[in-house]
Amino acid sequence: MPFDLAKLISECEAAFDGEEPQNKIIDVLTKSLCDPASVKAVLAPTRRTGFEKLYVSEQFTILHFIWAPKMAMPAHNHNLWSVVGVYEGREDHIFWRRDEKKSPHRIRAIGSASIGAGEVLSMDENAIHSVLNPTDLFTGGIHIYTQAA
Ligand SMILES: [Fe+2]
């Protein structure tokens, strides 16, 4: 089924009105990315690195992310749960944890995930991650973040 931004927004709103919205958002975003070429056609990426807000409410934000070839974002946290998906290219995520034994500012890698077109990744509010576009092409994705409580 071709991508429909209005449908994605309405299904996200419905998910937040019910129980366990994060699990529902995983399903909603996965379904929305089932035809990755149609997502690209609708969002029409400009090839400028960065993000644009597709929708903002009191409960959640939907961002359209464009990663330049080989672009990397250092380790950071959001203090919010999120569900991110890719419609073109690839995002490689490394997950980190604070290593309090060595220093309050020290982190160590604890895992990784790589998502390509049509794939989704869910992160809880305690996640610390860094992101790399490992490809020589632009990567495009949709990221859904909750709002601070
Ligand atoms: Fe992030």
Domains of the chain by residue range: 5-146
At residue 128, does pLDDT exceed 90?
yes
Residue 102 backbone phi and psi in degrees, to 5: -90, -40
Instruction: Write the CA distances from 15 to 49, 57, 91, integer angstroms.
Output: 30, 13, 25
* CA of 59 relative to ligand 1 center, distance in Å: 18
CA distance 145 to 2: 23
Exposure on the CB side of residue 64, measured as CA atoms within 13 A: 19
Cβ(12)–Cβ(27) under 8 Å? no
| 46 vs 72, more confident | 72
Query: Given 3-state DSSP classes, what are the helix, strand and coil percentages for the chain, each rounded to the nearest 5?
Result: 20, 45, 35
pTM to 2 decimal places: 0.93
* CA of 18 relative to ligand 1 center, distance in Å: 25
pLDDT band at 47 (very low <50, low <70, confident <90, very high): confident
* CA of 62 relative to ligand 1 center, distance in Å: 13
Residue 61: the pLDDT is 96
* CA of 4 relative to ligand 1 center, distance in Å: 24
Range 95-110 average pLDDT: 89
Residue 45: the pLDDT is 83
* CA of 76 relative to ligand 1 center, distance in Å: 6
Residue 1: the pLDDT is 86
Exposure on the CB side of residue 119, measured as CA atoms within 13 A: 12
Burial of 70 (0-12, 13-18, 19+ CB in 10 A): exposed
Residue 145: the pLDDT is 96
* CA of 131 relative to ligand 1 center, distance in Å: 7
For the domain 5-146, what is the CATH superfamily, name and number? Jelly Rolls (2.60.120.10)
Beta-strand ranges (E) seen in the chain are: 50-56, 60-67, 72-77, 82-88, 90-98, 107-116, 120-123, 128-132, 139-146
